[in-house]
């Protein structure tokens, strides 16, 4: 069924929950399925870059396990945001030494938000590392990234599931959404932080749900809701959840052929 199709892979934002994307990629490889191009936002952009670079699943997990989220020397008082995003550039260089989209093994499209115009920008050529950092720069934790005198932040602000950048170039779309929403109890909305998080989650879900349903195959594991967006202790759990859901979805798809 898939042998004669061009496959696009779309990976959403969602912090540590994005390790589920890696689980899906493991399942795809085990079933002999390889995407021809990939589009991603935030953590989806980072996983997408590693996939486009043909890193192994083990290398992908190592990248996220060994990259410090809250390292004291990365904190800043001179930029907006608590952590200087550009301090991560050196770490990224060890994985992407050529620092270019052109050095990747397959096309990659990543989305970041132009904070000055309030519009999304898609990066797909030229330097790679700064756009990757920008796409994952979740405010207010991480500072915006300056690219050609424009400040960019997390792509999920404007487009958390950038399917449109691969849908006209491929004829089979696989999607992975890790920005999940589940029903809450009243006790879960007791303060401003909980309320803000819930409203943001619902807004993202509403804007992405229709695009996700349009995919030929997708996973959206609800169990990921139990994993904190910035909780590195959830890396293995999120990965396993993505692998289980991905394996099941692919087996169902292939059983129909």
* Contact (CB, 8 A) for 21 and 176: yes
Where residue 76 sits, what CATH number does that domain have? 3.40.1090.10
In the prediction, which pLDDT does 78 show? 55
Between residues 81 and 65, the one the model is more confident about: 65
Q: Look at the chain and count its residues.
A: 257
pLDDT digits (tens, 9 = 90+) for 103-146: 999 999 999 999 999 999 999 999 999 999 999 888 777 888 99
Q: What is the share, in percent, of the chain residues with pLDDT greater than 90?
A: 60
Question: Residue ranges of the alpha helices (H) in the chain?
Answer: 19-30, 43-52, 57-66, 89-95, 129-135, 164-167, 192-213, 235-255
Averaged pLDDT score across all residues of the chain = 87
Element (H, E) at 176: strand 172-176
Between residues 235 and 83, the one the model is more confident about: 235
pLDDT above 70: residue 93: yes
In the prediction, which pLDDT does 257 show? 62
**Structural domain harbouring 220:** 2-255
pLDDT digits (tens, 9 = 90+) for 35-77: 999 999 999 999 999 999 999 999 999 998 887 654 444 445 5
Residues with catalytic roles: 42, 154
Q: Is 118 left (phi over 0), alpha (psi -120 to 50) or beta?
A: left
Tell me how many domains the chain contains: 1
In the prediction, which pLDDT does 1 show? 63
Joined together, the tokens standing for residue 241 give: 């959840």
The pLDDT-based confidence of 209 (bands split at 50, 70, 90) is confident
In the prediction, which pLDDT does 100 show? 97
pLDDT digits (tens, 9 = 90+) for 136-192: 888 777 888 999 999 999 998 899 999 999 999 999 999 999 987 656 677 766 776
The pLDDT-based confidence of 89 (bands split at 50, 70, 90) is confident
User: Closest Cα partner for 49 from 120, 113, 93, 101?
Assistant: 101
This prediction's pTM: 0.89
């Amino acid at each position: 069924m898939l042998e004669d199709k061009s496959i696009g892979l779309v990976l959403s934002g969602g912090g540590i929950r994005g390790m589920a994307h890696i689980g899906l990629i493991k399942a795809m490889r085990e079933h002999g399925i390889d995407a021809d191009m990939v589009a991603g936002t935030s953590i989806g952009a980072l996983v997408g870059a590693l996939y486009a670079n043909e890193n192994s699943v083990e290398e992908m997990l190592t990248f996220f396990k060994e990259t410090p989220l809250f390292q004291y020397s990365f904190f800043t008082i001179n930029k907006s945001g608590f952590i200087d995003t550009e301090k991560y550039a050196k770490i990224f260089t060890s994985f992407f030494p050529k620092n270019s989209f052109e050095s990747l093994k397959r096309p990659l499209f990543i989305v970041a938000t132009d904070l000055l115009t309030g519009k999304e920008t898609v990066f797909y050529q030229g330097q790679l590392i700064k756009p990757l950092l920008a796409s994952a720069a979740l405010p207010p934790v991480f500072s915006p990234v300056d690219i050609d005198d424009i400040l960019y932040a997390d792509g999920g602000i404007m487009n958390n599931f950038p399917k449109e950048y691969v849908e006209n170039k491929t004829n089979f779309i696989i999607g992975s959404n890790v920005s999940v929403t589940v029903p809450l109890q009243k006790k879960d909305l007791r303060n401003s932080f909980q309320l803000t998080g819930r409203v943001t989650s619902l807004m993202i879900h509403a804007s992405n749900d229709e695009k996700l349903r349009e995919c030929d195959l997708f996973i959206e594991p609800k169990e990921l809701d139990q994993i904190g967006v910035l909780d590195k202790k959830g890396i293995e759990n999120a990965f396993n959840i993505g692998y289980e859901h991905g394996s099941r979805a692919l087996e169902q798809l292939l059983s129909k052929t």
